[in-house]
Amino acid sequence: MKTVSIKVKGAILSIVILLMCLFIWHMATTQKVVTSPSESVNSSEYNSLMGQSGGETVQKTGFPTLTQMGQTIYKQLSHPFYDNGPNDKGIGIQLAYSLARVGLGFLLAMLVAIPLGFLIGMSPLAYEAFNPFIQILKPISPLAWMPIALYTIKDSSISGIFVIFICSVWPMLLNTAFGVANVRKELLNVAKTLEVSPIRKAFLVILPAAAPTILTGMRISMGIAWLVIVAAEMLVGGTGVGYFLWNEWNNLSLSSVIFAILLIGIVGMLLDVAFGRLQKAVSYAD
């Protein structure tokens, strides 16, 4: 059929794959356990200790069933902003903490990376001077900075922001420098022959010309920042979606852990889509 576009077909296929995964999940978590005679003594004892009795329809593992999962999602989403003290906050509040940290760290990184990237991109001398530092600092896992951040800043929340800053700064810095250094010489010559002032040249020629590359850097940075915030919050604790996830693991509530994982994925995707839109808005056909 020609009327069905490849997009629609793809969407149908996605749903089929999803249903298959859910089915496998369902089958894997709700199978009947038939106790075999040889194991019966030990496992029935163990099962009764665990509050389960052998031979009935039981969960095969501690893994939540689809129903339990659904209940958790419903419970979490119906009260996303409740606050019952430090260890019991709604997922909305936790997400807001994480997003605020990422946002702040990212903004700080932008404030440093874009002007510095401009400088490095425009001046070969600055490039040579800064390049060794960038090359050494770039491959360091942002979490490796955590002890130093905690020691010097003495605040876990700000340390989290610092870690986001340090991981987002490199892709933005390098992409800005690359974009600025590779603005077509012809366009710069046009600006020169028109005696355009340096400020006007920076904002009206170089910035728009390099914007797609800069946005690519920002998109990569945001992706990394969202990866890192979860790990950082697991480490420092207190608030945030990473802390929520770790806390639920300590509660042995796997359904909440899965819920958090799904949410992290969805928010990460939305952030990426947002930056993709921005990227499209500043890109131009040559």
Contacts with other proteins by CB under 8 A lie at: 184, 186-187, 189-190, 192-196, 200, 204-205, 208-209, 211, 282, 284-286
Q: How far is the CB of 2 from other proteins (least distance, A)?
A: 30
23-31: long-range contacts, CB 8 A cutoff, minimum separation 24: 25/66, 26/65, 26/66, 28/60, 28/63, 29/59, 29/60, 29/61, 29/63, 29/64, 29/65, 29/66, 30/57, 30/59, 30/60, 30/65, 31/60
Q: How far is it, in rounded angstroms, from Cα 83 to Cα 136?
A: 43
Backbone angles phi, psi at 52, to 5 degrees: -125, 150
Residue with smaller CB distance to other proteins, 190 or 262: 190
Q: 69 or 211: whose CB is closer to other proteins? A: 211
Nearest approach in angstroms of CB 62 to other proteins is: 56
User: What tokens appear for 193 in the block?
Assistant: 């022959």
Compare residues 133 and 284 and give the one whose CB is closer to other proteins. 284
- Residue (112 or 282) nearer to other proteins, CB: 282
Beta carbon of residue 201, minimum distance to other proteins (angstroms, whole number): 10
CB 253, min distance to other proteins, A:
51
Q: Judge whether 266 and 260 are in contact, CB under 8 Å.
A: no
Q: Which two tokens stand for residue 100?
A: 């605020």
How near is the Cβ of 217 to other proteins at its closest, in Å? Answer: 18
Distance CA 221, CA 173 (A): 10
CB nearer to other proteins: give 108 or 196: 196
Q: How far is the CB of 191 from other proteins (least distance, A)?
A: 8
Q: How far is the CB of 285 from other proteins (least distance, A)?
A: 4
Q: Which two tokens stand for residue 271?
A: 């952030």
Token representation of residue 215: 């946005």
Question: By C-beta, is 75 or 184 nearer to other proteins?
Answer: 184
- List Cβ neighbours of 194 (8 Å cut-off, separation of 6 or more): none
Surface-to-core class of residue 58, CB atoms within 10 Å of its CB (0-12 exposed, 13-18 middle, 19+ buried): middle
Closer residue to other proteins, CB minimum distance, 177 or 191: 191
